[in-house]
Amino acid sequence: MSATSPGVSISSAVPEHVAVIMDGNGRWAGRRALPRHAGHKAGVKAARSAVETCAESGVKCLTLFAFSSENWRRPREEVGALMALFVEVLKRETEELHRNNIRLRFIGDRPSLGKRLAQRIAAAEALTADNTGLDLNVAMAYGGRWDIVEAARRAAERVAAGELSPADISEETIRGHLALGDCPDPDLLIRTGGEHRISNFLLWNLAYAEVFFTPTLWPDFSNADIDAAFSFYRERQRRFGRTAEQLEARSC
């Protein structure tokens, strides 16, 4: 699919790479007088359904923001409940994802997640490594700035080792060292929960994403919302810096 190549104007029918900021779990719970962790639990169901729908729709790559580097600032009980939920979900869902030919990858500051979760992550990645269906990336303890700093550090290490000259550092060098260096950039970013911000998600990779904001709280996110996001995407003209006239001339 060509929608991600700079220079191609018309959005393909289905975005190749979809990134999602799954926001609104706490408010969903609050409206039901439930504790915040009940909202996170309900959010897992919405994530499962979004994964299925994206896989069936022909999306090649789905990146879900599950826990940001800034979310460590939340109350200790909420962070603890989230980490326990991640362990439980991995335990419960990995086999099913594997049966559905989904390849799992986790991006973020892995050591900060603790040994138990890091072990589950490594096992899930190893089990699904050769799958050829949907690429499912889960961002945990992830920050876009952290990602860029890590990439810069790796490039600097190569310079220090004499493998790379500073003059040869290019966008491709940095991209290649990012957590999603081998994925095409997201074509579509969806943020639920009504906020219109990026919250330090894939800062580099989202440079040319189409952005769909919806007030729907993440646990309520349904196939109807995915349809709305995909039709919004289909209506965009992706210009990548060119003019509409240039693109129209090319498509004649």
Footprint of ligand IPE (CB under 6 A): 21-27, 65-68, 70-71, 82, 193, 195, 197, 199
* Cβ–Cβ under 8 Å, residues 41 and 221: no
The smaller minimum CB distance to ligand IPE, of residues 221 and 233, is found at 221
The smaller minimum CB distance to Mg ion, of residues 23 and 225, is found at 23
Phi first, then psi: give them for residue 135, nearest 5 degrees: -90, 115
Residue 141 contact among Mg ion, ligand IPE, none, beta carbon within 5 to 8 Å by kind: none
Our finding on whether 23 is near Mg ion (CB under 5 A) is yes
* From 21-29, 69-77, 125-133, 148-156, span contacting Mg ion (CB under 5 A): 21-29
Residue 128 contact among ligand IPE, Mg ion, none, beta carbon within 5 to 8 Å by kind: none
- The angle that helices 76-99 and 36-57 make with each other, rounded to 10 degrees, is 30
Q: Which of 25, 71, 131, 223 is catalytic?
A: 71
185 is catalytic: no
Extract the tokens encoding 246. 């240039």
The residue count for binding Mg ion (CB under 5 A) is: 1
* Cβ–Cβ under 8 Å, residues 20 and 50: yes
By beta-carbon distance, which residue lies closest to Mg ion? 23
Q: Strand (E) positions, the chain?
A: 17-21, 61-68, 103-107, 135-142, 188-191, 210-213
Phi first, then psi: give them for residue 138, nearest 5 degrees: -115, 120
Q: Which of 23, 135, 185, 187 is catalytic?
A: 23
71 is catalytic: yes
**Bridge partners (DSSP) listed for residue 19:** 63, 189
The smaller minimum CB distance to ligand IPE, of residues 22 and 54, is found at 22
**Residues with active-site annotation:** 23, 71
Contacting residues toward Mg ion, per CB under 5 A: 23
